[in-house]
Amino acid sequence: MNWGHKIIIVYAVFVAGMLFLAFKSSKQNIELVTEDYYAKELVYQQKIDETKRADALTSKVSVDVIDHELKIGFPADFSGKPVAGEVTIYCPSDEKKDMRQPFSITDSALNISVPANYHGLHYVKISWSVAGMKYYCEHKIIIQ
């Protein structure tokens, strides 16, 4: 085999490899973090203010995972007051595992059951309001 045939073989293998990579990349699932990211960016200052309010409380919101149940405890600042809001469990690796749960409690911890197939890194985003003031916090959890 002469050098001309070897160049053609190398070129053919290169083209086949590029076509294979193009095919594999077209089948890759690409998910945005959120569909309306621009609109959410415009109201991000509100989230910053809500986070500062939550940080100014006497204690932080506690988030624990025990036997596929999420236990969320609110600070004593809210004792005797109705707390209403929403908990979002965000899975960065799979949009189908995202979960939203509205809640309304008074003087108790919030318990949310987590499905058994939820494993790995998740973010718990808690947005709530008490007496017209809005608060927000995020916690990183690992579900095993």
Q: Number of structural domains, the chain?
A: 2
Same domain, 85 and 116: yes
Same domain, 47 and 98: yes
Question: Around Cβ 41, how many Cβ atoms within 10 Å?
Answer: 10
Same domain, 59 and 103: yes
Percentage of the chain exceeding pLDDT 70: 96
Domain that holds residue 19: 1-30
Encode burial over 72-92: b for 16+ CB neighbours within 10 A, e otherwise.
bebeeebeeeebebebebbbe
pLDDT digits (tens, 9 = 90+) for 74-120: 888 888 888 899 999 998 887 888 889 899 888 778 888 888 888 88
